Structure 1
């Protein structure tokens, strides 16, 4: 049950006065928190104490392995500690580490070190997983194997708790997202209650063509972007941004206002906090049985969340099956 000091945000989910209250109030559920480093440490300590009777696995940014060990010897060591059914060889194969199995950890890239941490956690067949920024050092080439493993943990009834920045990573995870603001923890809006209304204004009104540019601010100047330049619009910590060629620009219009204007240009409200340019979508990926992500066709293969209630609407609108 939530702490008595928790407050309801807009009559929906509770806002909490501390990360400890948040984790206690959401006990047993997957929770993802955008927060600073100090809060990450506090959250990790709380999870370690509260879930000590469960099989837990932790991955913090400071977990870099043992430099002199090879990948295989490192995972074999933890496999013996875990004493479970998943072997070091199983983990090496699953996370694509066979080609570096004999390599010393000190010679690995940041991404390879991240992968051995996920491999290490998998050895414990965890019921509870705590990760600090799980996607921080993961490239698009290997992101799928990481998200698939995390999705499998969630689908099996496990609890995923992640912490760190940015909010977009928290929103991608299966579960509930919160962000830290002025010492309080506020729920990110992650659901859409109803279908958006079709705009009343037609693209053509008689002989008049409706022209729209996305107004953004930068260094005191107003920039006007053609909608075709915009990859997506996101709302983060109560501020809206348009993503153009990998850069985020603040916009003053609300998401509802932008949705009404951009829908006619092929944009879709995929999430309470996101509007996506459908022409830029390369893949629709299932994360767990009930959660989805959209992968964009940009250089970073950016992922943005697709809310459960919007996935079917998107399929119907664009004929995707």
Structure 2
């Protein structure tokens, strides 16, 4: 049985269609992410909490319709909101004890402290914690509730590297415990790094994002030969982008990275996005002579801008760029192997 099943769910806000009717299933031991706008995310959360009536479609948790079981969310659904309050004057341990008693939790407090890496902070008051440390207290709260369905809103937004690693370890624990995990985010890089499957939800409905690495085949040596010939095949030094009716030309070294979104490529320079007139595949071919690398199916990165390579889990990696916003770009497992070879690492 699926932990979460959504059937023909549709939402209008006044005269605006937020999302058209869609189906979605989340199984136990699965982590899925839905990438959407803030308005869509808020509407989904309010529906799950019963704050907004469901006029079209249905939401089922463990086979039970949430509109027919008004108190279902109190036991089976747990939500970690992006903007969530804590008791500033209490210590971390006071919070753990309070939540354990509130939810009559059977989880061991030391286990929760270990999972969230809050053990060294147990005597520290919440008002003395960093934002990232407070997020870990939020994670601890939801772990103690121990629902069937875990929902996280923007769990790794603005957190430090340690907290993001803690969150990924929590996800591995929840999968072992056969929980269903749904992540709601407006950041595609986070969705790709965190989840086993990624979906985009908008007015056209829901669409699954291709996550599999491109398959390697026996003809790959021939591709390498073609790559060696690319510098003589193209003679250009500008990348055109289009803004309104203007064509803007950029030198390749100016570009930080390129992202493909619904078939449209966007060139990122100093935190600003410019739609490209070329596809991602075309840009990959054109930019290889300038030190650009296809690090993921949906991303091309300027290797000269890469500052760090972060290993989150055995199959999850990110590149941190040396640009103004310190952008993080997903790196697929297959591409990680290629990058190590390029860097001369084993």
Band of TM-score, shorter chain: 0.7 to 0.9
Partner of 1:222: 247
Aligned to 2:186: 165
Which residue is 2:291 aligned to? Answer: 266
**Distance (Å, rounded) in 2 between the aligned partners of 1:274 and 1:222:** 22
Tell me whether 1:87 sits opposite 2:109 in the alignment.
Answer: yes
Aligned equivalents of 2:147 and 2:317: distance in 1? 23
Deviation string 1:127-179 (CA, Å, 9 cap, x unpaired) is 75320111123144643333343345447765431013122221221311110
2:316·2:331 contact (CA, 8 Å) conserved in 1? yes
Q: Which of residues 305, 330, 342 is equivalent to 1:305?
A: 330
- Following superposition, the deviation at residue 256 of structure 1 comes to 0.5
C-alpha root-mean-square deviation of aligned residues, in Å?
3.8
Evaluate the alpha carbon distance shift between residue 40 and residue 188 of structure 1 in structure 2; reply closer, same or farther with a 3 A threshold. Answer: farther
Residue 98 of structure 2 corresponds to: 77
Deviation at 1:217, TM superposition (A): 3.1
Check whether the contact 1:191–1:309 (CA below 8 A) recurs between aligned residues. Answer: no
Q: Any conservation in 2 of the 1:155–1:288 contact (CA below 8 Å)?
A: no
1:232 aligns with 2:277: no
The residue aligned with 1:27 is: 27
Q: Distance in 2 between matches of 1:132 and 1:73?
A: 24
From the superposition, tell whether residues 153 and 320 of structure 1 become closer, same or farther in structure 2 (CA, over 3 Å): farther
The CA distance in 2 between the partners of 1:192 and 1:31, in whole Å, is 17
Q: How many residues align?
A: 306
Cα distance 1:203–1:111, how it changes in 2: closer, same or farther (>3 A)?
Answer: same
The alpha carbon displacement at 1:43 in A equals: 5.5
**1:3/1:144 Cα in 2 relative to 1: closer, same or farther (>3 Å)?**
closer
In structure 2, stretches of 5+ residues that fail to align are 10-18, 51-58, 65-71
For residues 304 and 335 of structure 2, the distance between their equivalents in structure 1, rounded to whole angstroms, comes to: 17
Q: Which runs of 5+ in 1 are unaligned?
A: 7-15
- Post-superposition offset of 1:118: 1.7
- Counterpart-to-counterpart distance in 2, 1:159 and 1:278: 36
- Residue 202 of structure 1 corresponds to 229
Who wins on radius of gyration, i.e. which is larger? 2
Contact 1:281/1:294, CA 8 A, preserved across alignment: yes
* Contact 1:242–1:251, Cα closer than 8 Å, also in 2: yes
Tell me which moved more, 219-228 or 161-170.
Answer: 219-228
Give the distance between the partners of 2:197 and 2:317, measured in 1 at CA. 14
- Matching residue within 75, 80, 84 for 1:63: 84
Cα deviation for residue 3 of structure 1 reads: 8.5
Structure 1 residues 207-266: Cα deviation after superposition (integer angstroms, max 9, x where no partner): x98333222234643322222222211112443211212222221210000011112222
Q: Provide closer, same or farther for how the CA distance between residues 310 and 70 of structure 1 changes in structure 2, counting only shifts above 3 A.
A: same
Q: In structure 1, what is the equivalent of residue 164 of structure 2?
A: 143
Deviation at 1:82, TM superposition (A): 5.3
**Comparing 220-229 and 39-48, the one that deviates more:** 39-48
Structure 1 residues 96 and 70, CA gap change in structure 2 (3 angstroms) = closer
